[in-house]
Amino acid sequence: MRCAPWIALLPCLVAAGAQAADNRPVLAVFNVEGKRIKLDKDLADALADHAAALLTEAGSFQVVPRDQLKERLTQQKSASYQACYDQSCQLEIGKELAAEKSLAIQVIKIGSYCTVNATLYDLKKSTTEKAATSEKANCKDEDALLTALERAIHKLALPSGAPPPEPVKARGPDVAALPRPVPEPPRPAPAAPAAPGVEMIDVPGGFAWRGCNKGIDPDCPEDEQPGKLLELKAFAIDKTEVTVAQYMQCVSAGRCSQPDPAAMQAASSYGFGYAYSFGGAAGGSGGVGLNFQQPGRENHPMNGVTWRQAREYCAYAGKRLPTEAEWEKAARGPKGVLYAWGMDPPTCERAVMSDDENGEGCGQGGTAEVCSRPEGNSPFGLCDMAGNVWEWVEDMYAEDYYTKSPGADPTGPRSGSQRSLRGGSYKYGIKEMRASSRSQYGEEQVADDIGFRCAKSL
């Protein structure tokens, strides 16, 4: 864990033992069932997706991603997620996905009209918690069915006193185009082309291990547990940490702000050029200072930037910061190795780090040029995923986030006072070189051993 400068030291230390928790119940929204009416599969999917989106937007629940739910349901012996409508099936699948509640939706035809029923199950108690029924709607009118669904959800789960949805007048021709429940990590607006010479590595979609693996790492910090497989969409990520020369191009283009030497000096003066890591070795005192505008450091990692400055640069380059889960997959590869290079212990041939023999930066007392340790490259060929500088990622930090994060494309907790850092730095030792190691820092704070790299969705 990293703390903010001296003025915030005491609150930071207190917060280290009491991270804000997201206590909203986890909800699985199952597919829509037609009773006495055959619903088109795409329409049923779109209605369920829209229900999940409404509940996500309302903020009362943590909604299990629908794609993750569908994938698990297709593994049932029924071989179809369309078949899991009864409470026993939802109870079994919901618990596997760590859901506490499930939502079952039925479109029921009575005469020439349809109603939409929504039932909220408490999976822990195996009981029905609440149910709601909409007014009658024309069974052949998709817009009318959509409004009926919204009214049922409003009665069931949205905040009391909120106005009911207005009847639909013109929603457009395609209900299947309704919003998905969980957005992708934020994408930058169209921007200038990426700085020349920035190589990106494609990381294929699929499953990868996140967190501490007790089978290969017996000393697992609390914030790295539980370790489990996650499914991530394909993405690309910079092979190297963003260099001083690349950042300077953004400054020259008027798209990035220069780092603040005064903030850097204040942080270093009080020992926050290195910060302290709970459960790991602390770095030494002082620090190398800013690499920016220092002769001979053009190919060193850009350091001393805030999280927002890192984000500004990535947007300028037409990219974004990676999520914490993306960063870890890029570092560990699909097999989830202990270190970026494999299972062998860290050395100065593999990482720019601090050790007993050489001291900080393997004897350099600071950063090294990017990609100076090819023996330490990750399975995907990325450089410096261990050591040199800690790297900002997009996510807020929460110590217990792994206990409740979704199993597909997690983007971090919705709120918090710190941002996550990954990768360790030249001031840290063996423990922080582990690919699962996590740290944190205030998004407006700086340190001489914090930098970043960028990513983009594919």
| Shared domain check, 261 and 116 | no
16 in a structural domain: no
10 in a structural domain: no
Domain that holds residue 65: 26-159
Each residue's pLDDT expressed in tens, for the chain with a length of 458 residues? 554 443 333 334 333 433 334 678 888 888 888 888 988 888 888 888 888 877 876 677 888 877 766 666 655 544 444 456 666 777 777 766 677 888 889 999 888 889 998 888 888 787 888 888 877 888 888 878 888 888 888 777 654 444 555 454 433 434 334 343 444 444 444 444 444 468 999 999 999 999 999 888 988 999 999 999 999 999 999 999 999 999 999 999 999 999 887 766 655 543 344 333 222 222 333 445 789 999 999 999 999 999 999 999 999 999 999 999 999 999 999 888 999 999 999 999 999 999 888 888 898 889 999 999 999 999 999 999 999 999 999 999 999 999 999 999 999 999 898 999 999 999 999 999 999 999 999 999 999 999 999 999 99
| Shared domain check, 195 and 151 | no
| Shared domain check, 338 and 200 | yes
Looking at 139, 159, 179, the residue that finishes a domain is 159
| Shared domain check, 373 and 244 | yes
244 in a structural domain: yes
- Short-list 154, 148, 146, CA closest to 130: 154
Number of domains in the chain: 2
- Non-local (6+) Cβ contacts of 73 within 8 A are 80, 81, 84, 93
| Shared domain check, 418 and 278 | yes
376 in a structural domain: yes
Give me the pLDDT at residue 313, please.
96
Angle at 381 between CA 378 and CA 387, to 5 degrees: 45
C-alpha 73/C-alpha 65 separation (Å) is 13
| Shared domain check, 437 and 366 | yes
Say which CATH number the domain at 55 has: 3.40.50.10610
Give me the pLDDT at residue 80, please.
44
406 in a structural domain: yes
Give me the pLDDT at residue 11, please.
39
| Shared domain check, 39 and 94 | yes
180 in a structural domain: no
| Shared domain check, 202 and 148 | no
Under 8 Å between Cβ of 135 and 144: no
Say which CATH number the domain at 201 has: 3.90.1580.10
| Shared domain check, 310 and 217 | yes
194 in a structural domain: yes
User: φ, ψ for residue 336 (rounded to 5)?
Assistant: 65, 50
For residue 134, count other CB atoms closer than 10 A to its CB.
23
| Shared domain check, 199 and 125 | no
| Shared domain check, 91 and 222 | no
| Shared domain check, 358 and 437 | yes
12 in a structural domain: no
Q: What is the pTM of this model?
A: 0.57
Strand partners, 107: 34, 116
